[in-house]
Amino acid sequence: QPAIVGLRDEELLMMEDCLQRLHLELQHSAVTHDSEMIVDEESFAVLYQGAVEATISVSREQAATENAMLRLEARKRMFSAEYGEQRRARLSLPSWTQRQKIIDTIASNRVVVLTGETGCGKTTQVPQYLLEEAEALGFGAEVHIIVTQPRRIAAISVAERVAWERGEPLGKSVGYVIRLEDMPPRRHGSILYCTTGILLRRLQKADGLAGVSHVIVDEVHERELDTDFLLVVVRELLNVHPYLHVVIMSATLDASIFTRYFGGCPHVNIPGMIHPVQVYYLEDLPQLMGQFFPPATRQRKLGCSDEEDIDFELAAAVISWIAQYFAKGAGAILCFLPGWDMIAMLRDRLSKTPASKGMAIMALHSQLSAGEQRGAFTHPPGGMRKVVLATNIAETSVTIDDVVYVVDCGKIKHRQFDPSRNMTTMRVQWTSQASARQRQGRAGRVQAGFCFRLYTRDVHARMLEHQIPEMQRVPLEELCLQIKAIAAPNVSSQVAEAASPGSNMSQLKGTMAVNTGMNDIAMFLSKALQPPKGTSVFAAVKVLRQLGAIDQYENLTPLGRTLAKLAVHPRFGKMLIYGTLLGCLDPLLTIAAAACFKDPFVVPISKRDEADKMRENFAINSAYASDHLVLVSAFEQWKKANLAGQGHSFCERHFLAPMTMKLIAGMRYQFEKTITEARVFDTWVTSDLEARTHVARCILTAGLYPNIAKSELCRESKGMKNATQHAYRWRLGFCVQNGRVFIHPTSVVNEKHLDPNKHYYLIYQEKVQTSQIYLRGCTLLPPLALVLLGWNVSISSDSGAAISGDWMLLEVEGWLKFHIDRRAGLLLLELRQAF
Ligand code: CDP
Ligand code: MG
């Protein structure tokens, strides 16, 4: 006799899912009526058990064995002397006092926001508490926790730490996955630390969360692009995965923005063990430091320190003063600077001071390899003072244990993209009050500490309260493409497949589709914590449409699907596809891989000329100078040297970052694999190296269009100028559609080497405004490449404007004009159609 069993919406969905996945044969079939699902109780029991098993993806027997094993291991850890050191370290953390509260709140809520000062034990302890609790209760195998980290190195170092605390090697119950490197843990009863991007990519697959019990989104206060995006996705996924628990972790105390975002979810705060930190501002320093205070700084008015400048002399003086004035061995000095180049500069200057003999100066920034970074965490030999020069990576994401003094320049390097001008401005700016507070806190970890702010109280009062989230600062093409890719398998296709018209089910799922709103990029982004501007989204969608990644209804095209899988900016993805098509994939693999990381050329300030020369040596001898092809030949030569075991010395000689070169090699391999797997086309390679490089150069257009500039003669004032006398000279310069621009000084494209009587066209990767507008990543191109491979180029071939019967005038986008052989021109136009 069938009985009606009341099911919650999400249960209903889950069961459907189970039926499909487990192919369960039901004794009595479940029937869907108009408005209710009718299931007899026996079938319900089978289904329900199936559902539970499906979420943990193991059979009941297997789970029982694993659970018993985990329980034994947990006991061992708890009671054996072997783990004494680990236990002591863990029990001393502030998070320990809140252990039960954290476990209980997470167990009884779908979403919990957890806050606590950096170092209190959020990242390393909370996942362990959850796993250990389950282990002790005998269902450890049902727990699989994913913890996301914004940075690669943080993911590794934290996983290593937790594995140590559990007395295991990595890859058992604790592991990590980052791009190009993984050491994943077992699937059941485990904690996985991964970068946010990795989880987002996993979510592109429909069963991306199979077996996952908890998702912990860490470091949300950084408001990094991927993290903000993940929050939107996670909020939607709560509807689809009824047994998923989500924890949001932040190092800032004010969590209201996050709790509000998750419908007023509970908030647990871990009270800090931060010791008091005495804060001094710039105006306090002359008196404190006395003769140590640099006279140059004194002469400049303290109140109007320039926003873009770093006073290296002052920073060096403060550091040496601390090193001498405060007792030796009593704690490390941590100095915050905006970028690695400034770290190098301060390091140079510091090493010239007499105090530097007693210092172990370490750098800490994301350009360093994991090995090089370790220096910052070691303890120097007795009597030496550790000085760590760091970017804001040391603000929250990594913790240096023995810091007592913080020297804060108060600046940050800030990128801001302006969609209306297609331009990125990059400036050193004042940081926010929130991050100043965070930096200060780093001094009070071991004992009462000191924070020296190299700016005035007045400047501090005028700082922004919080940083502007990355989502409002960067171009959004890659993000928008990912939104489409995530939307497709997870929600829309399931909905489309399973919904039968008219039934309750389809209504239910229909609502979900509407609720998740993943079909509409703008609508999706409007659900973000702090949504990006409409113009930004619009600009990104336009680029995607012109690239051919989405169609006019914003549906992913087959090209778009492949581009999303490539995990590179779609512009570069498209180049890879053209490269495959036209038989010159290899150089483009390097170019696209390099675009994923920072510039591999590391330019020490003191050796700028030497470094520039080295870079120019890599330039291929051709009429068309190219920064992109410089990367290609640098990479090729490095590869050879590396095979001969001389990669490192090669990098040193040529001012390349060895870590970045290795990352590029790994990325190249991954792209190649994805392209082969996607079976875009059969890879066909021309054997003519020169032709291959030239075609690759032209293909840059397919991705970077419409970022083009053309040369023009500019009149420049020369030398002295007064009211009566003007001296001018003519110089070759470049212009983009609405104005004059400059080639970035690091580029191998050098206006001085070009013939002023000729026309040049170039394609650039980025237009950056610092003191002037600079084009970065430039490649000179034959104009035909623009006509053939530019997107949606409006070409007019007005025959009236033709000079003679054999020539025609092609006008691209109304501002680039070429004369071209008529037959070639017509052929070109025809070829364009084919693309
Ligand atoms: O996430 P949160 O900033 O709250 O702290 P955590 O990363 O869990 O770190 C807790 C403690 O573990 C720190 O205070 C460090 O003493 C230690 N730790 C470590 O020694 N090495 C790491 N890689 C990470 C943490
Ligand atoms: Mg943390």
pLDDT of 716 above 90? no
Task: Take atom 15 of ligand 1 and give the residue whose Cα is closest.
Answer: 119
pLDDT of 391 above 50? yes
Tokens representing 747 are 């580029």
- Quick check: CB of 125 below 6 Å from ligand 1? yes
Highest mean pLDDT among 64-73, 229-238, 365-374: 229-238
Cα(270) to centroid(ligand 1), Å: 14
Cα(93) to centroid(ligand 1), Å: 9
**Is residue 385 within 8 Å of residue 359, measured between CB atoms?**
yes
Most ligand 1 atoms within 8 A of CB, residue of 96, 153, 247, 399 to mutate: 399
**Is residue 365 within 8 Å of residue 343, measured between CB atoms?**
yes
- Quick check: CB of 397 below 6 Å from ligand 1? no
Look up residue 440 and give its DSSP letter. H
88-102, 134-148, 363-377, 581-595, range with the lowest pLDDT = 363-377
Question: What is the predicted pLDDT for the residue at 291?
Answer: 87
Question: What is the predicted pLDDT for the residue at 493?
Answer: 37
Question: What is the predicted pLDDT for the residue at 354?
Answer: 86
Does the predicted interface ipTM exceed a cut of 0.95?
yes
Nearest-atom index, ligand 1, CA of 158 = 23
Question: What is the predicted pLDDT for the residue at 196?
Answer: 95
Cα(560) to centroid(ligand 1), Å: 40
Question: What is the predicted pLDDT for the residue at 245?
Answer: 96
CA gap 110, 112 in Å, rounded: 7
Question: What is the predicted pLDDT for the residue at 60?
Answer: 60
CA gap 127, 122 in Å, rounded: 8
pLDDT of 807 above 80? no
- E strands, 329-448, in order: 332-336, 359-364, 385-390, 403-408, 411-418, 423-430
pLDDT of 59 above 60? no
**Is residue 711 within 8 Å of residue 743, measured between CB atoms?**
no
Question: What is the predicted pLDDT for the residue at 598?
Answer: 82
The 10s digit of each residue's pLDDT in 510-537 is: 333 333 334 588 888 999 999 999 999 9
Query: The whole model's pTM is what?
Result: 0.74
Mean predicted confidence (pLDDT) in 338-365: 88
Question: What is the predicted pLDDT for the residue at 788?
Answer: 72
CA gap 652, 232 in Å, rounded: 43
Cis peptide bond N-terminal to 706, omega within 30: yes
Question: What is the predicted pLDDT for the residue at 53?
Answer: 54
Q: Point out which residues pair with 264 in neighbouring strands.
A: none
pLDDT of 617 above 50? yes
Instruction: Give Cα 281 distance to the centre of its chain.
Output: 33
38-47, 96-105, 163-172, range with the lowest pLDDT = 38-47
- Quick check: CB of 156 below 6 Å from ligand 1? no
CA gap 424, 261 in Å, rounded: 30
Q: What angle do CA 469, 213, 72 make, to 5 degrees?
A: 130
Mean predicted confidence (pLDDT) in 253-277: 88
Task: Take atom 7 of ligand 1 and give the residue whose Cα is closest.
Answer: 123
308-312, 320-324, 414-418, 426-430, range with the lowest pLDDT = 308-312
Mean predicted confidence (pLDDT) in 622-643: 91
Question: What is the predicted pLDDT for the residue at 1?
Answer: 35
Mean predicted confidence (pLDDT) in 741-770: 86
pLDDT band at residue 318, thresholds of 50, 70 and 90? Answer: very high
* Averaged confidence pLDDT in the chain: 80
Cα(681) to centroid(ligand 2), Å: 44
92-101, 395-404, 806-815, range with the lowest pLDDT = 806-815
CA gap 680, 686 in Å, rounded: 17
- Quick check: CB of 161 below 6 Å from ligand 1? yes
**Is residue 314 within 8 Å of residue 337, measured between CB atoms?**
no
CA gap 409, 430 in Å, rounded: 9
279 or 180, higher pLDDT? 279
DSSP string, 272-311: --PPPEEEE-GGGHHHHHGGGS-HHHHHS-GGG--SS---
Please return the burial class of 51, using the count of CB atoms within 10 Å of its CB with bins 0-12, 13-18 and 19+. Answer: buried
231-245, 301-315, 363-377, 626-640, range with the lowest pLDDT = 301-315
Tokens representing 684 are 């066909």
592 or 1, higher pLDDT? 592
687 or 591, higher pLDDT? 591
- Ligand (nearest to CA of 117): 1
Question: What is the predicted pLDDT for the residue at 599?
Answer: 86
The 10s digit of each residue's pLDDT in 12-23 is: 555 565 555 444
Question: What is the predicted pLDDT for the residue at 94?
Answer: 92
Cα(122) to centroid(ligand 2), Å: 5
Work out whether strand 144-149 and strand 190-195 pair parallel, antiparallel, or are unpaired.
parallel
- Quick check: CB of 120 below 6 Å from ligand 1? yes
Tokens representing 377 are 């965490």
Nearest-atom index, ligand 1, CA of 126 = 8
Question: What is the predicted pLDDT for the residue at 492?
Answer: 39
Cα(448) to centroid(ligand 2), Å: 22
pLDDT of 835 above 70? no
The 10s digit of each residue's pLDDT in 459-489 is: 999 998 888 899 999 999 999 999 988 875 4
657 or 782, higher pLDDT? 657
Highest mean pLDDT among 200-214, 234-248, 383-397: 234-248
204-213, 477-486, 574-583, range with the lowest pLDDT = 574-583
Cα(123) to centroid(ligand 2), Å: 4
Nearest-atom index, ligand 1, CA of 249 = 1
**Is residue 700 within 8 Å of residue 789, measured between CB atoms?**
no
